[in-house]
Structure 1
Amino acid sequence: MNETNAGGVRRRSVEIVVPVYNEAHVLAGSIGRLHAYLEDSFPFPFRITIADNASTDATWTVATGLTLRLPHVHARRLEEKGRGRALKHVWSRSTADVVAYMDVDLSTGLDGFLPLVAPLLSGHSDLAIGSRLHRQSAVIRGPKREFVSRSYNLLLKAGLGARFSDAQCGFKAVRTEVFHALAPHIEDTAWFFDTELLVLAQRNGLRVHEVPVDWVDDPDSRVDIVRTAVDDLKGMARMLRATVTGRTRVPAVPRRTTVPQNVTALPTGAATAVEPMEYAS
């Protein structure tokens, strides 16, 4: 996946993980659409990895079939459930410069993907999140989920001093070497994984970039809102204790430095106008 151009310059790469659990009925259509979009418009080497969270339907069969038909699609099978577990498993083993994930329903508009990862590839930021609560976002969803989402993010601001606006949007990316440093300190294996990653990043002075997104609620969502809310509150309490005791400080987090001459620059207009940077390992 780490390719070079005609002049022998290495091109930065991205691995996109799509965690799934019993999604055989939509998997082929969603991955096919994502693959076609990236092949047509994404200017960097990429890999799509389907992370099967111990599905009990035909999801794994569909996933392995897609790896035979589509050249940039790979699949991993986990025998235990948990979105956070799946992301941690794949991201920790990735050789790409940037790792990302999105939900299989593709609720978030794909036109937001290059703006999501470009600041990480250019060296401007360390993590990037899609935000449904940004004033420029276009969101269609029911009042119940809107209320739960806004309430949760207000709690994060009040309880943990969060400076990011939307912890739960299934559209995120992180520099791989940064994730490798943070991963051993992330305990959650389910839905609170995202929040824990962001809080750790903030506590360690990393830069989080937010992208307004177009987002349409999936009526077939498998998320148990009540159970997830309870687990999130428990996770917040744990993170608060960790902050008080200093356990959120991570040693040797990679920092930004000057970009090397052997890495290609971003296409014009792909990111904000900042001086290119690279990262020390």
Structure 2
Amino acid sequence: MIESTESRVAVRARPVASSPVLDVVVPVYNEEVDLGPCVRRLHAHLGEHFPYPFRITIADNASLDGTLAVAEALAAELPGVVVRHLDAKGRGRALRTAWSASDAPVLAYLDVDLSTDLAALLPLVAPLISGHSDLAIGTRLARTSRVVRGAKREVISRAYNLLLRGTLAARFSDAQCGFKAIRADVARELLPLVQDTGWFFDTELLVLAQRAGLRIHEVPVDWIDDPDSRVDVVATALADLRGIGRLGRALLTGALPLADLRAQLGRAPLAAPPGRVPAGLPRQLVRFAAIGVASTCAYLLLFVLTRGALGAQPANLLALLLTAVGNTAANRRLTFGISGRRHAGRHHVQGLLAFALGLALTSGSLAALHAVTDPGRAVELAVLVAANLAATVLRFVLLRLGMHHRR
């Protein structure tokens, strides 16, 4: 049978008695030696330890050796094994094709070298079968993980994940481990938004899932590095950097429909019991405080630069207005996770209301100070900082009330 998706795909399989609960995809390129032992071992493990019907899909990425022939022989030999042949390379392309065509409610993939111990497979997919989580990843960076690999790969892996935290605010620990699973209903919504067809596919999928408010389950794994790995580290690293830049721009410009995804798939914040801190509030306070410090520094700098030419009150008005607009935009994106133009006008009106309150506090403080004495510049700045702190508390309350429930 021939199916057409991103490229010509051929599917050959032995009949399966019942629809699978889990579809495990094994993407391969020129793996005629390792493919047979991998699939037989995986099939035996699932047959013995997995309590639901399963399917193993071999996704051949335009192999040039005998990989396709080996895959077809395995499909003829083992029940529940199918083959999908793609005419174009790319692990991400293979996963998108196989996952999009699957009828299983839970989808997974693992690398053909089986570096990850298969004992972690059931813990990986169980939260997805139960509905507790939306995606699941194996992590080699948890304290309880047991990993054997060289120093070079260890440093590269940790540096990459630190880079993701710094640039894309990733909260998952290991983006690159070739051991992941996703619910099919979630995959249907996320896959059309993932542009990468290569190694950055995993990272892009996880970042979109996190930004959409989905729950990502992490499983510590036992992992032994494959010394025969054919991954081009330099080329992959450059492609990953380009992917980070592209995805970062899309997130900053609001080009992705994250608000719609969050409304459709995301898990709503838990209602806090009386006397308890609301969910997400500590993290929001930290980000709001960081933005507040930057805004206050910018405000004071603008005030000092314009104070001599404009006078105290006009300089205060100008500095407060400019920093209020920037502060609202930064909190909208970074503190409350809102992107795109939806409700942007309303949010900036709320920001201007907070600006008006801040202006009243700071201008009133300046007026009261000058009515009592002729202060020096240092005293003037100290009074403004105190008034700004009070205005900042009011700003957070107003912005949280206006934005937190409209994400």
**TM exceeding 0.5:** yes
Q: Which has the higher contact order (CA 8 A, sep 6+)?
A: 1
The answer to whether the 8 A contact 2:213-2:267 is kept is no
What is the alpha-carbon distance in structure 2 between the residues aligned to residue 25 and residue 122 of structure 1? 36
Distance 1:255 1:38 in 2: 31
> Which residue of structure 1 lines up, in the alignment, with residue 248 of structure 2?
240
Partner of 2:131: 123
Q: Report the equivalent of 2:96.
A: 88
The DSSP-based 3-state class of the residue aligned with 2:177 is coil
**What are the Cα deviations for residues 125-174 of structure 1, in whole angstroms up to 9, with x where unaligned?**
00000000011100000000000000000000000000000000000000
Cα 1:2–1:254 change in 2 (3 A) is farther
**2:220 aligned partner:** 212
What is the deviation of 1:248? 3.1
Question: Do residues 167 (structure 1) and 175 (structure 2) align?
Answer: yes
Answer yes or no: is the 8 Å Cα contact 2:214–2:267 preserved in 1: no
Contact 1:2 1:96 in 2 (8 A): no
**1:34-183 aligned within 5 A:** 34-183=42-191
Contact residue 116 and residue 179 of structure 2 kept, 8 A = yes
- 1:82-140: CA deviations, max 9, x gaps? 00000000101111011000000000000000000000000110000000001110000
Q: Counterparts of 2:180 and 2:101 in 1: how far apart (Å)?
A: 17
The answer on whether the counterparts of 2:136 and 2:180 sit within 8 Å (CA) in structure 1 is yes
Measured after TM superposition, the shift of residue 192 of structure 1 is 0.1
Gap change, CA 1:161 and 1:37, over 3 Å in 2: same
Distance in 1, Cα, partners of 2:86 & 2:247: 27
Match of 1:50, SS state, is strand
Task: Report the secondary structure of 1:174's partner residue.
Answer: strand
Q: How many residues are treated as equivalent by the alignment?
A: 250
Amino acid at match of 1:74: V
Partner residue of 1:26?
A: 34
CA 1:2–1:125: 2 relative to 1, 3 Å: farther
Segments of structure 1 that go 5 or more residues without pairing to the other structure are: 5-11, 258-281
Give percent identity, aligned residues only: 61
Structure 2, unaligned stretches of length 5 or more? Answer: 1-15, 269-407
For residue 2 of structure 1, report the CA deviation from its aligned partner.
8.8
8 Å contact from structure 2 (residues 27, 111) kept in 1: yes
Q: 2:110, 2:88 → 1: CA distance?
A: 20
Deviations 1:227-270 (A, max 9, x none): 1001001100111101111123343544679xxxxxxxxxxxxx
Alignment root-mean-square deviation, CA: 1.6
Contact 2:134 2:186 in 1 (8 A): yes
1:239-278 equivalent positions in 2, closer than 5 A: 239-250=247-258, 251-252=260-261, 253-254=264-265
Return the index of the structure with the highest Cα Rg: 2
Alignment of 1:200 with 2:208, yes or no, is yes
8 A Cα contact 1:123 1:256, kept in partner = no
